[in-house]
Structure 1
Amino acid sequence: MPVVLHATGDVDAARAFLSRHYYSNFVDVLSPWHPWQTRFDVTPSHAVTVGDLRFGTDVRIQFGELGAYHVNLPLTGSLVWRQGGHAPLRATPTTAAVFQPVGDACLEKWDGDCRLLAVKIDRGMLEDELARLLDGPVTSPLTLAPTIDLTRGRGASWLGLVRHMAADAAQPHGLMHHPMIGAGLREALVAGLLSAADHPYRERLEHPRPASAAPAAIRRVVEAMRAQPGKPFTAADLAATAGVSVRSLQQGFQRHVGMPPMAYLRHLRLERVHEDLRQGDPAIHSVTGIAYRYGFLHMGRFAAEYRARYGVPPRDTLRG
């Protein structure tokens, strides 16, 4: 999608633009006696939004829960921020601010000389990418560390990637605007954040378990479930596929996958439902139809599980 350019000295216009492309907000100008003008260059998409933002005056911006992962990377100046009940932190050109999908967020003081890159990432996309990199479901909420060191290592490399993408998006024929290449760049940005930020799965990403570590029997069952996730498997069916007893299958999955086989199947089905909802057309598809396709017959329980995993009701994902 082409970059959206916006410049204004009107606080309501600035607030409306940020609401449209990022989150609902309330802006309080801290130095109203100085003339000022915002400059927002934003490349929006459903999954990843990258913006080059500057306000031109000191402001305070309050948000509710973001519902997405978000990173602010100051290029100049500084930003004092907080989320939930945590103490305020400062983001600078050496330290990025990382926001979670849950917890009210506030930019306590966005300095007038602070120009920043603002990266918004769909919660489902980040968690699905983590599951893909781990080659298995994400079984607990993904909480990223609140800061990233931008001076060295993968933090510095990720900053370079974001800067490149923002600069490329500003070009009318940049690669970010190509349907296939742009999608690949956005996926690289998401995977790069998982590598640059600290989180509970970081060690597993740094030292992945080789596929050969799981016995052939376990791999056969995983492949069968991935090939037909909507099939009404029973524990006995899966044990027969593995060629072992139900008890041995349970123990093998717990040892090599980290959960029972039926729990793995349920996580896999949720992932497939989520992907189909993201790609679906609400004029043609329904949440119930997609859920039934993958074996979810009790819609109340399904909706509760989906919301616990992805932070939104399934109908919101289908509506985009």
Structure 2
Amino acid sequence: MAENAESAARTGPAPARLALRTADLDEARSAIGTMYYDPRIDLLDSRRPLDTDFSMARLGPFTVGELCCGADVRMRFEDLRAYHVDLPLTGRLAWRQGAQQTRLATPDRAAVFQPEGRTTLERWDGACRLLAVKVAPEALVRHLELLVGDSLRAPLRLAPTMDLTAGPGRSWARLVRLVTDEIDDDHGLLRQPLLAAELQDSLLTGLLLATGHPWREALDRPAPHGFAHPVKRVVEVIRGRPEHPFTTTELAEVGGVSARWLQEVFRRQTGTTPMGYLREVRMERVRDELLRADPAATTVSDVAYRWGFGHLGRFADKYRARFGELPSQTLRSR
């Protein structure tokens, strides 16, 4: 029987969630099938009962979760039809896909799966608690096209493993950890549209930087110099709709350039990044609201949070550096 099961679908940026603690094999199979893929599950040691602990959520093109089976199991899947990464926090995971040899995922090395190819988790040991990340393939491919500024002329195949000990892999794992920690927080950053969209964008970019693929080197090349018109267009759009949950890739589409080009040329021409400029404009809007607000009916935190500033202390420091006073002083000046 399930000890605790929760499934909640919400509107806006909040993900659909499913949490499950159970010793029932069919319930575990159904939960994984609902959020990820339909599995066949076998217990490898009948002396050790199943004790699953799943917490999973959907966020845009991602499904993320923290999962542990509590017993050694084998899982088999047909084509996943999605990119997928398993990042063990503890224990080990033996796996293979298609005709590849069996590999081992550990807290130092993640397993990276392609959308096609029969997938087998040969032994997911009972001590292995992992972060599981499913990525919609169309979202990842489109994101890469925006980053390099060109259509892909071959299928995107990711390297089968990711180094989690240093560099982009370790950073991306930390970002995934942040997202999974926020799943159950009804007042956290995943419920804030302006931040959730940027976080999804960062997860896509981070994955493409943390894994090997034929376009990986292109992501490190400096962008060529270009005309200023795309930057001007992006500035106009930001100033016209700062309340929109823009991402770098969406702004690159607005400018008709690659995201990499926009990042570098925008910084050369304005001294900041597109997202940095967006935050500056939003801070101006916060100040405008505080100047007009009734101190008895308004709080700084409510206004700041509405404009996408989730860390109030950091926001106050930047606000004072920009305007020479604390936001609370602006509010009381009315």
> 1:41 Cα shift?
0.5
User: Aligned with 2:226: secondary structure?
Assistant: helix
Q: Distance in 2 between matches of 1:167 and 1:9?
A: 24
Question: 2: distance between equivalents of 1:71 and 1:165?
Answer: 14
1:19 Cα deviation from its structure 2 partner? 0.5
2:302 corresponding residue in structure 1: none
1:3 to 17, 21, 28: 17
Q: CA deviation at 1:58?
A: 0.2
CA shift, 1:2, in A, is 5.1
124, 143, 149: which one pairs with 2:157?
Answer: 143
Q: Indicate the percent of aligned positions where both proteins have the same amino acid.
A: 44
Tell whether 2:51 aligns with 1:37: yes
- Pick the aligned partner of 1:75 from 77, 80, 89: 89
Query: For residues 122 and 184 of structure 2, what CA distance do their matches in structure 1 show?
Result: 29
Q: What SS does the aligned partner of 2:185 have?
A: coil
Q: Which residue of 2 aligns with 1:126?
A: 140
1:12-39 deviations in Å (ceiling 9; x for gaps): 1100110010001100011222233101
Of stretches 183-192 and 90-99 in structure 1, the one that deviates more from structure 2 is 183-192
User: How do 1:262-281 and structure 2 match up within 5 A?
Assistant: none
Q: Is the 8 A contact 1:134 1:208 kept in 2?
A: no
| Mapped contact 2:16–2:59 kept (Cα < 8 A) | no
Quote the residue 1:60 is aligned against. Answer: 74
Which amino acid in the other structure matches residue 33 of structure 2?
A: S
TM-score in terms of structure 2 length: 0.62
Q: Tell me, yes or no, if the aligned pair for 1:2 and 1:172 is still in contact at 8 Å.
A: no
| TM-score for both structures, normalised by structure 1 | 0.65
Aligned pair count reads 216
What pairs with 1:194-233 in structure 2 (closer than 5 Å)?
A: 194-210=208-224, 212=226
Cα drift, residue 177 of structure 1: 2.7
Task: State how far apart, in whole Å, the 1-side matches of 2:172 and 2:23 are.
Answer: 32
Which piece of structure 1 moves more, 53-62 or 202-211?
Answer: 202-211
Give me the whole-angstrom Cα distance separating, in 2, the residues matched to 1:78 and 1:200. 28
SS of residue in 1 equivalent to 2:116: coil
Gaps of 5+ in 2: 1-14, 228-252, 257-334
Point out where structure 1 has 5 or more consecutive residues left out of the alignment: 214-225, 230-320
Matched, 1:22 2:29: no
The equivalent of 2:183 in structure 1 is 169
Determine the C-alpha separation between the residues in 2 that align with 1:177 and 1:4.
16
- Equivalent residue for 2:281? none
- Provide the rounded CA distance (Å) in 2 between the counterparts of 1:187 and 1:67: 21
Structure 2 contact 92–125 (Cα < 8 Å) conserved: yes
Per mean C-alpha deviation after superposition, the further-off stretch among 64-73 and 136-145 is 136-145
Contact 1:58 1:109 in 2 (8 A): yes
Amino acid at match of 2:136: D
Residues 60, 200 of structure 2: 8 Å contact kept = no
The equivalent of 1:154 in structure 2 is 168
2:190, 2:196 within 8 Å by CA — same for their partners in 1?
yes
Aligned-partner residue type, residue 48 of structure 1: F
Displacement after TM superposition at 1:211 (Å): 5.2
Q: Report how far residue 176 of structure 1 moved.
A: 1.5
Q: CA shift at 1:77, angstroms?
A: 0.2
- 1:98 equivalent to 2:108? Answer no
CA RMSD of aligned residues (A): 1.8
Partners of 1:27 and 1:180 in 2: CA distance: 39
Q: What's the counterpart of residue 322 of structure 2?
A: none
* d(CA) in 2 for partners of 1:84, 1:185: 32
List per-residue Cα deviations over 1:70-122 (Å, max 9, x = no partner). Answer: 00000000000000001000000000000000111110000000000000000
Please state how far the C-alpha of 1:46 moved relative to its aligned partner: 5.0
The 2-side partners of 1:111 and 1:183 are apart by: 35
1:188 and 2:189 equivalent?
no
Q: Indicate if the aligned counterparts of 2:43 and 2:71 stay in contact, CA closer than 8 A.
A: yes
Q: Which amino acid aligns with 1:148?
A: M
